[in-house]
Amino acid sequence: MTTTHDATEVQMAPWTNGAAYSDGGFCSIEQAKISVLDMGLTRSDCTYDVVHVWNGRFFRLDAHIDRFLESMARLRLDAGHDRAGLEDILHEVVRRSGLRDSYVSMTCTRGRPAPGSRDLRTCRNNFYCFAVPFIWITTPEQQRTGVHMWISDIPRIPPESVDPVVKNYHWLDFDMALFDAYDHDAQLVVLGDLSGAVTEGAGYNIFAHVDGRWLTPATGALRGVTRQTVIDLVTAAGGIVEQGRLSADDLRRANEVLVTSTAGGVMPVTTLHGQPVGDGMPGPRTRELHDLYWSSHEDPAWSTPVRA
């Protein structure tokens, strides 16, 4: 895809509240829209991905686009742009925002069916994306002191019903669990599966340091790009990461717990279900991973400068 701009568009002031690509063109975030008849809205029939820009550089952009393309293929969606076209649009929304640090989301929905029809085959898929100021799941200050996580008794939607490997907006289980967490003065929540094994939280993966190695769920959770980054960093430093079953008991006896997400990186959990994790402060391994993660944003193997 080739993106063209007239002189007025190119010279306009940045949309610092956010820039979007919607209905085939670029606009401010306030002007972006989606039809009330789009099945992404009426049925949550869509997939999305989020990449972030830090200090003017996309972090692991290729991995995010890979996952987005795989998710669309599994849901039989077509964004109407090839890989190069998607990259062009992502770079352009960030350029138009003028933001050095931003949260960049891309979504493909099923779209609207033909008038009077419910046949999914009549839908024209809809692609949109936007760049807004960086969004934090936990603030930098909270990351210095740690946060409280609640273990929900609401089970995660079974992967046999909605595959969490395909990033999706089926979040009612997360949202109801979050309200319960808030009622207990917790900022984060983690859900288990029907067997009681820990899965994931609302937009983040979980790691627990137990018996000398990091444990992270292998099933029932999104294969997060930040999750994989942490696995790569631990392995490169000679540590051990086991991807397998993480029980609630494992979580409770861990000496360090952290969550990972594009919206925040490596975030320490220092209170779990009302009880301190370890000594109640971010542990040394978590602090080291936090620092390694953010320093890796300058690594050209993992980061890409936003095009001017």
Spatial distance between the Cα atoms of 229 and 220, rounded to a whole number of angstroms: 19
pLDDT tens string, the chain, 308 residues long: the values are: 444 343 334 446 799 999 999 999 999 999 999 999 999 999 999 999 999 999 999 999 999 999 999 999 999 999 999 999 999 999 999 999 999 999 999 999 999 999 999 999 999 999 999 999 999 999 999 999 999 999 999 999 999 999 999 999 999 999 999 999 999 999 999 999 999 999 999 999 999 999 999 999 999 999 999 999 999 999 999 999 999 999 999 999 999 999 999 999 999 999 999 999 999 999 999 999 999 999 999 999 999 999 99
Secondary structure tally for the chain: helices H, strands E? 9, 16
In Å, what is the CA distance from 307 to each residue of 35, 94, 96, 97, 183?
A: 31, 9, 11, 12, 44
Give the residue among 96, 108, 141, 130 at the shortest CA–CA distance from 40.
108
Q: What are the extents of the domains in the chain?
A: 7-135, 140-298
Cα–Cα distance between 296 and 280 in angstroms, integer? 27
Angle made by CA atoms 119, 121, 125, in degrees to the nearest 5: 115
Classify 302 in phi/psi space as left (phi over 0), alpha (psi -120 to 50) or beta. Answer: alpha
Least Cα distance to 67 among 91, 53, 84, 47 occurs for 47
Match 């109407």 to its residue by tokens: 80
**Cβ partners under 8 Å of residue 86, min gap 6:** 65, 68, 79, 106
Dihedral of CA atoms 58, 63, 69, 74 in degrees, nearest 10, equals -140
304 touches 58 (CB < 8 A):
yes
Residue 12: predicted pLDDT:
67
45 vs 64: CA distance, rounded Å: 20
- How is residue 211 written in tokens? 């018996």
Is residue 150 packed enough to be buried (19+ CB in 10 Å), middle (13-18) or exposed (0-12)? Answer: buried
Give the span between the Cα atoms of 38 and 29, in whole angstroms.
Answer: 19
What distance in Å separates the CA atoms of residue 90 and residue 73, rounded to the nearest whole number?
20
Class level of CATH domain 7-135: alpha beta
Q: In the structure encoding, which two tokens stand for residue 194, read together? A: 């029907």
Q: Is 155 exposed, middle or buried (0-12, 13-18, 19+ CB in 10 A)?
A: middle
Rg (CA), the chain: 20
- Predicted local confidence at residue 2, as pLDDT: 40
Q: What is the pLDDT of residue 236?
A: 96
Look-up: residue for tokens 């079953």?
A: 245
Q: Tell me the HSE value of 94 on the side-chain side, using a 13 A CA sphere.
A: 28
**Residue 184 DSSP one-character state:** T
> Rounded to whole angstroms, how far apart are CA atoms 231 and 207?
10
Q: CATH: 3.40.50.1700, 3.90.1010.10, 3.30.1330.10, 3.20.10.10. Which one for 140-298? A: 3.20.10.10
